[in-house]
Structure formats: structure tokens, C-alpha cells
Structure 1
Amino acid sequence: MAKEFARGFYKSTAWIKCKQAYIKSVHGLCERCEKPGYIVHHKKHITPNNINDSSITLNWDNLEYLCLDCHNEEHKFNREKKSATRNGFKFNKKGELVKDE
């Protein structure tokens, strides 16, 4: 689901045309596993600061067509990379911060 600040962009004619052309260029297949694609993913994520920068939002070098599984995996990886804890620590089942052994 698009973030509030990006909803207008994702409804724009420029994005719809860019997205459709990009999907056609990769033959509608996920660029990672070659299953049918699902979503055009921005490699460098769109933020309130770059939403009006077409070199980010409409640049094919920043796009990747992914199936739902690969897209979910990408975001799972990014969530794990941006862990809420410091390296070497984790939360246990009680919600306490402990050393990761």
C-alpha cells in the first residue's frame, strides 16, 4: 500500500505510463525468479524528499519488476537490515533486550 505522501504520484499519468512500459520491457516476468510479475519496485525507495525527482521515481535504472514473493522477500530483508536493536542483541520472548548468542 502506498504511503500517503506518494498516493498522488502513483495515480499520475507519468507513473502509469512508465510502469506499463517497464512491465512490457521485461515481458511481465519477475526479474529475480521469472514468475509472473506483480509490482514495480523502486530500488531506491521513494520518500517525501525525492517524490518529485524523476531520476528516482521514473528512472528505469531504479525500477525492478517483482512477483509478490520476491517483493515480500525484499521488504523482509530490508526490515531485518534496519533492525531496531544494536548488532549482537535481540529481544527475547518476554520482550527483554538480551545478547544474541
Structure 2
Amino acid sequence: MQEFARKFYKSKAWQACRAAYIAQRVQEDGGLCQCCGEEPGYIVHHVVHLTPANINDPAVALNPANLSYECKACHDLHEGHGVGNGKKPLARFGPDGQPVDLRSI
């Protein structure tokens, strides 16, 4: 998490928006990842990334149309969001919560 966003992600407004979005996704499709449609969603992702310039704009930061519910592996594929950085992730997590090495699949 970027330092400029720390306060926002702890805010009541974001927590309420996030909870409502997850509840909507669970109602629509059981809460599956909106990218792969195979894994359960894990992270509410901002499609238009938050920046110091737009983080206080509710039309960007709190707009459900700018959100996507994604599994960790898919989220990590977004630029700057984890080990994947646009490449195939190194691992996924199995139903037991343990990492599954994708090189062995």
C-alpha cells in the first residue's frame, strides 16, 4: 500500500464501500474473481488506480463502477501489484491455503 493511500484504506467510507461491493459480488456470482472466474475473490481492486490527485474524488475512489473483486493471483498480475507485475504468478493458493507451485502444473 502506498503511503498516501493508508488513511483512505482505513476510512469508514472505504470500509463501507468495500463491504457493500463484496456483498453485491457474493449475491451475483458467489464472490468469484471477476478476472478468472475460477477462484474466490480476495481483494477489491481499483480499475483506475488511486493516485494522490484522485484519491479524494469519490467518483474514482468510492465508485463501484471503478472496482473489481479479484483473487490474489489475478490482482498480483496488475502492474505494480505484486510479484506477477504483468507476468504469470509464481504460485496460487490451494483450497488448504498452501501455495501451489505453478511450475509443477
Query: Do Structure 1 and Structure 2 share a fold, with TM-score over 0.5?
Result: yes
Identity of aligned residues (%): 52
Residues 1:54 and 2:53 are matched in the alignment? no
- Could you list the runs of 5+ residues in structure 1 that have no partner in the other structure? 79-101
- Structure 1's consecutive aligned runs of 4 or more residues displaced over 4 angstroms after TM superposition are none
Deviations 1:43-94 (A, max 9, x none): 100000111000000001100000001001223229xxxxxxxxxxxxxxxx
Residues 1:30 and 2:19 are matched in the alignment? no
Report which of the two structures shows the higher radius of gyration computed on alpha carbons.
1
Select the residue among 69, 83, 86 that pairs with 1:77.
86
Matches of 2:49 and 2:25 in 1, distance apart?
20
TM-score by length of 1: 0.71
Matches of 2:2 and 2:77 in 1, distance apart?
19
Deviations 1:10-51 (A, max 9, x none): 000000000011011111221122311110000100000111
Partner of residue 9, structure 2: 10
Partner of residue 67, structure 1: 71
Matches of 1:6 and 1:74 in 2, distance apart?
17
How many residues align structurally? Answer: 77
Supply the AA of the counterpart residue of 1:4: E
Supply the AA of the counterpart residue of 1:47: T
Which stretch has the larger CA shift, 31-40 or 62-71?
31-40
Aligned with 1:65: secondary structure? strand
